[in-house]
Every structure is written in C-alpha cells, then in structure tokens.
Amino acid sequence: MSMDSFLLDGQLRRFLEEDLEHGDITTDAIFDQETASARFVARQPLVACGMEQVAARVFCLLGGQLEFGQMAADGSRKDSGDVLLTVKGPVRTLLRGERVALNLVQRLCGIATLTARFVDQVQGLPVRIVDTRKTTPGLRMLEKYAVRCGGGGNHRYSLSDGVLVKDNHIAACGSISAAVERLRGRIPHTVKIEVECDTPAQVEQCLVCEVEIIMLDNMDTATMTEAVQRINGQALVEASGGVNLETVRAIAETGVDIISIGGLTHSAPAVDIGMDWI
C-alpha cells in the first residue's frame, strides 16, 4: 500500500514553505552542524499512516544526511508508547520539519484510526466503508490514502472521475430520468452513474433508468432494508447520511453494499504523536 511520491512532493514542499516562510529563526540562531536522533512515539493506540512517505519525506526535502531506522508500516495497529519512526540527522533539519511532519501524520493516523473503528464495527458483513469528497481542501490524496490504510475504500476522488446525481442536480434538472438521459452518451463509458435517492419513489425511478449505483441518503434502516430488497442486485446500493459508530452496524445489516461516511475525513480527531530526542 503506498501513494505516488511523484505526486506528493509538490504538496509537502508547499506545507514546509508555509511553516518556514523565510526560515526558522530560532533554530538557525542556536544550532549549526549538530546532529541528533529522534523518534516519533504514539501517545495513544492508533493505526499508522504516512511514516515513510510523509514524515520521513518531509525531513528528506529539507536536506542533509539522514538515516531512518524503524518505520511503522501503513495500516499497522500500534499501542501507546510504540515507536513509529526513528531518524538521525542534522538538528536543524529535525527541528525545522518536526511540526509539519507531526501535523500531517497526526491527522492521517487519526483518519486511519477512525476508519478502522468503523471497519471493526461491521466485521463479518459484506459491506465496504468508504469516504466522500468531504476532505480537507488540499489534502485529498493524503486523506483518501489514510482511509485505505484504515481498511476502508474510496468513493470517487473528484468531480471528474465519477458521476453522482445529487438532490440539487435533480431539483435543477426536473427529474432523475431527465438527468440520466442527458448523462447517457455524454460521459465516458468507463464510469458508472450513481444517483442520490431520498425516497423509495426515487429508487424506483433509478431502477427504470438502469442506474448502476443507488445511494440511499438519510433513510432509516427499515426503509433501507426495503430498498435493498427492491433493488435486488440490479444496482450497487450505497448508504449515506447519519452514519456513526453506533449506527453503522445496523445500517450494514440492511444489506447495503457500501456505506459512505463524510466524518471519516472531516471530523476525525487528530491522534497524539510526539517527537522525542533519543
């Protein structure tokens, strides 16, 4: 499991530039060529994400001779006190990069950890927990990767790579069938059509239009169960809205194929990770 480093570097550079502006005036005044060793330590149980491709890479971009020891594998479960990363290098590089590296991995591990909790809740059921486009602006690639590290899957990445007809589309266009008709023949044949439904009547329309994915939005579990039975394999069924750790298993038990959860990315609390000198 990994991300494309080629695509990450530009982002990491921008994050460093944001925190460095014209340089680290504290560190530059105090230190010269000293080297040190440091480790990233989990201060709570978590699912690891980004030690190699994010944290270590941040230090590498800042330059100087660096040696990395341990690196927690992406997706591995760690306990409080576990070492996630060890690095030896110039003090100036370590202190310069510390905050950006921590800000990133605390957030990514937070998302992976929350995702894993949802996945654990639905263990044994044939359902997939996925994210949404409710990601932090500028961090989508990283956050969607963190969801995968937590055992989840990804919904479409952007407005470009998936078709989702939402309530506002339907309202502005007039009807589901009108919207779907315009889509057929205009979108690439490689992409499925998904429609957001608030009511059983809309589900019926989707079936008439032979939509490939039907999203049941904010339905109660009874309505969802009926919808799943009515759809009966003619489309993938996705549940969305009002999903939390308490409700997710009941939703999964309705038989839906996919449960999408915006909170995986917009509300995952950052986990606590510290950088200590060795």
What residues from 148 to 187 belong to the interface with a copy of itself (CB under 8 A)? 153-165, 168-169, 171-173, 179, 182-183, 185-187
- Which residue type is seen at 213? I
Partner residues linked to 197 by β-bridges? 216
Which residue of the set 166, 167, 181, 276 is catalytic?
166
Q: Are 145 and 5 in contact (CB under 8 A)?
A: no
- Near a copy of itself by CB under 8 A: residue from 39, 77, 117, 133: 133
Name which of 23 and 222 has its Cβ closer to a copy of itself.
23
Q: CB atoms < 10 A from the CB of 19, how many?
A: 14
**Residue (142 or 222) nearer to a copy of itself, CB:** 142
Q: Of residues 20, 125, 207, 250, which one binds a copy of itself by CB under 8 A? A: 20
**Whether residue 134 lies in the annotated active site:** yes
Q: How far apart are the first and last CA of the chain?
A: 29
Residue 229 CB neighbour total at 10 angstroms: 10
Show Cβ contacts of residue 13 under 8 Å, excluding neighbours closer than 6 positions.
Answer: 61
What does the per-residue mask of binding to a copy of itself show for 220-259, with x meaning CB under 8 A? ----------------x-x------------------xx-
Distance CA 151, CA 117 (A): 9
- Pick the piece of the chain touching a copy of itself (CB under 8 A) from 76-84, 200-208, 247-255, 267-275: 267-275
Is there a contact between 214 and 195 (Cβ–Cβ < 8 Å)? yes
Give the Cβ contact number of residue 160 at 10 Å: 8
Total chain residues near a copy of itself (CB under 8 A)? 98
Binding string, 92-131, against a copy of itself, x = CB under 8 A? --xxx-xxx-xxx-xx--------------------x-x-
Residues labelled as active-site residues: 99, 134, 166, 196, 217
